[in-house]
């Protein structure tokens, strides 16, 4: 005997899961960062931050950068100098993270070999001098030059003879700005973290409409987008929003390969005037390996940056990605932030599985340029370094500008916003070569003139 048959409900639709089940291949050319890979070689032509100075104590630290295992250590009479060497001792591969920091370098724990910060073998105590001399002439430990700057430790991991000047950005030396270092790990490839900086639209949706808002309330509005390429390696993405009578131009920026800035996270919401307010962070997206990255940054505070009340560990995390890092899985699902958005793509996002849209054109622009520079390097054309315009600083554009410029009766306001956004950037490009000291005042003066004169 059977009960009455109840037909299972049939779902109708054009299901395509089976046809699309094959995973697309990773974009190896720009995703792989290890030694000898195309993108790895490219990235090795630049200075990168690799540690927060205050986190390096009296003991060596093992770190992984660009797929290489390294050891950072202090040396010198006062242990106030810093060295960076390959992790494994060249005698029999003991890890130098267990080494001793000494005046002249780092000593391996296993048989006491002493290495200078540039990798020279200084002592091989158990060996006779003839064998040791032969070895010293023949080889050395791998090592990289280090610069400590404003609380971050930077290194250059490329060919020694091609070491570029260390670039100093205008954003590093403002009077009246308080900066605090922070770091934020991401469990994914560097490119998908970098993408977000030339994707101003995600600020409206991920950070503002989907999750609370995580930043200022005014970011809920859709902006009129514009993208710019300055020089061969400097990309800007501006989002121009209408806030009542005001026009708010927020500018994100990327200097290849991995330097990023934006406007403020919390200080500006478009309701108050703001003339060339500067970036809440100055940050680098540094690949640890193919599927892990770490952001090293300064969070910036003051009257033209974010409020000092956010200068806490939690505040830095919120500035970096909209939420604190240590959250429950449920909280991450209810209020996802950048980590969830970019890590959720997987260790290496498959670009062939994307459908890029007009709002993604900044991403298309910069990825194309990265790919070109990677290919150029394979043909012995070195990539361009950050450009110093004016005196000695690399000039940056990450900002908020809010001008009182009401909508025009009967006119298309998006077209009006588009023209104002262009005018705000064009007046800055016009003074790019001006001296470092005069640039800010000149830009602010021109912005105020634009506000009072309007545009045709």
Are the C-beta atoms of 235 and 253 separated by less than 8 Å? yes
Cα gap 405→419, rounded to integer Å: 12
- Quote the distance between the C-alpha of residue 44 and its chain's center: 16
Cα gap 89→224, rounded to integer Å: 55
Q: Going by C-beta distance under 8 Å and a sequence separation of 6 or more, which residues neighbour residue 135?
A: 121, 124, 127
Q: What is the DSSP letter of 434?
A: S
Are the C-beta atoms of 185 and 294 separated by less than 8 Å? yes
Binding span for Fe ion by CB under 5 A among 168-176, 278-286, 291-299, 334-342: 334-342
Cα gap 323→332, rounded to integer Å: 9
Q: Which of 92, 333, 368, 375 binds ligand FES (CB under 6 A)?
A: 92
**Kind of pairing between the strands at 143-144 and 246-255:** unpaired
Q: How far is the CB of 199 from Fe ion (least distance, A)?
A: 8
Q: How far is the CB of 93 from ligand FES (least distance, A)?
A: 6
Give me the count of residues in the chain: 456
Please list the residues that pair with 252 across neighbouring strands: 237
Binding span for Fe ion by CB under 5 A among 93-101, 144-152, 194-202, 347-355: 194-202
Name which of residues 242 to 261 contact ligand FES (CB under 6 A).
none
Residue 108 site contact among Fe ion, ligand FES, none (CB < 5 to 8 Å, cut-off depends on kind): ligand FES
Binding span for ligand FES by CB under 6 A among 26-34, 85-93, 152-160, 301-309: 85-93
The answer to the question of residue 110 lying near ligand FES (CB under 6 A) is yes
Q: Which of 269, 290, 338, 451 binds Fe ion (CB under 5 A)?
A: 338
Residue 338 site contact among ligand FES, Fe ion, none (CB < 5 to 8 Å, cut-off depends on kind): Fe ion
Q: How far is the CB of 206 from Fe ion (least distance, A)?
A: 6
The answer to the question of residue 125 lying near ligand FES (CB under 6 A) is no
The answer to the question of residue 89 lying near ligand FES (CB under 6 A) is yes
- Of the candidates 373, 375, 383, the one whose C-alpha atom is nearest the C-alpha of residue 159 is 383
Residue 209 site contact among Fe ion, ligand FES, none (CB < 5 to 8 Å, cut-off depends on kind): none
Q: Which residues bind Fe ion (CB under 5 A)?
A: 196, 338
Binding site for ligand FES (CB under 6 A): 89, 91-92, 94, 108, 110-113
């Amino acid at each position: 005997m059977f009960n009455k048959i109840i037909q299972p409900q049939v779902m109708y639709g054009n299901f395509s899961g089976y046809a699309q089940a094959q995973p697309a291949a990773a974009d190896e050319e720009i995703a792989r960062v290890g030694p000898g890979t195309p993108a790895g070689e490219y990235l090795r032509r630049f200075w990168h931050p690799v540690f927060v100075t205050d986190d390096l104590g009296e003991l060596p630290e093992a770190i992984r950068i660009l797929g290489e295992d390294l050891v950072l250590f202090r040396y010198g009479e006062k242990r106030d100098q810093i060295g960076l060497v390959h992790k494994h001792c060249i005698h029999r591969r003991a890890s130098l993270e267990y080494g001793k920091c000494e005046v002249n370098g780092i000593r391996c724990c296993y048989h006491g070999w002493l290495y200078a910060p540039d990798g020279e073998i200084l002592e091989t105590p158990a060996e006779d001098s003839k064998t040791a001399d032969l070895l010293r002439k023949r080889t050395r430990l791998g090592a990289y030059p280090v610069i400590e700057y404003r609380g971050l430790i930077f290194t250059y991991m490329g060919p020694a003879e091609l070491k570029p000047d260390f670039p100093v950005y205008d954003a590093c030396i403002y009077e009246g700005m308080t900066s605090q270092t922070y770091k934020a790990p991401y469990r994914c490839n560097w490119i998908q973290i970098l993408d977000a900086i030339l994707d101003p639209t995600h600020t409206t949706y991920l950070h503002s409409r989907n999750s609370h808002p995580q930043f200022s309330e005014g970011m809920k509005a859709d902006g009129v987008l514009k993208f710019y390429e300055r020089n061969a390696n400097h990309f800007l993405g501006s989002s121009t929003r209408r806030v009542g009578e005001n026009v708010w131009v927020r500018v994100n920026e990327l200097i290849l390969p991995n330097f990023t800035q934006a406007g403020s996270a919390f200080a500006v919401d478009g309701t108050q005037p703001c003339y060339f307010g500067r970036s809440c962070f100055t940050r680098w997206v540094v690949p640890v390996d193919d599927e892990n990255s770490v952001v090293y940054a300064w969070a910036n505070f003051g009257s033209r940056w974010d409020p000092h009340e956010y200068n806490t560990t939690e505040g830095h995390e919120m500035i970096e990605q909209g939420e604190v890092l240590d959250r429950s899985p449920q909280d991450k699902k209810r209020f996802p932030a950048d980590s969830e958005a970019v890590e959720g793509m997987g260790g290496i996002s498959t670009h062939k599985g994307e459908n890029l849209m007009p709002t993604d054109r900044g991403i298309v622009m910069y990825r194309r340029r990265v790919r070109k520079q990677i290919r150029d390097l394979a043909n012995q054309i070195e990539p361009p370094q950050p450009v110093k315009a004016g005196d000695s600083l690399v000039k940056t554009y990450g900002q908020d500008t809010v001008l009182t410029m009401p909508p025009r009766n009967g006119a298309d306001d998006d077209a009006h916003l588009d023209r104002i956004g262009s005018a705000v950037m064009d007046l800055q490009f016009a003074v790019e070569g001006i001296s470092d000291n005069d640039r800010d005042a000149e830009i602010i003066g021109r912005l105020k003139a634009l506000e009072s004169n309007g545009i045709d």
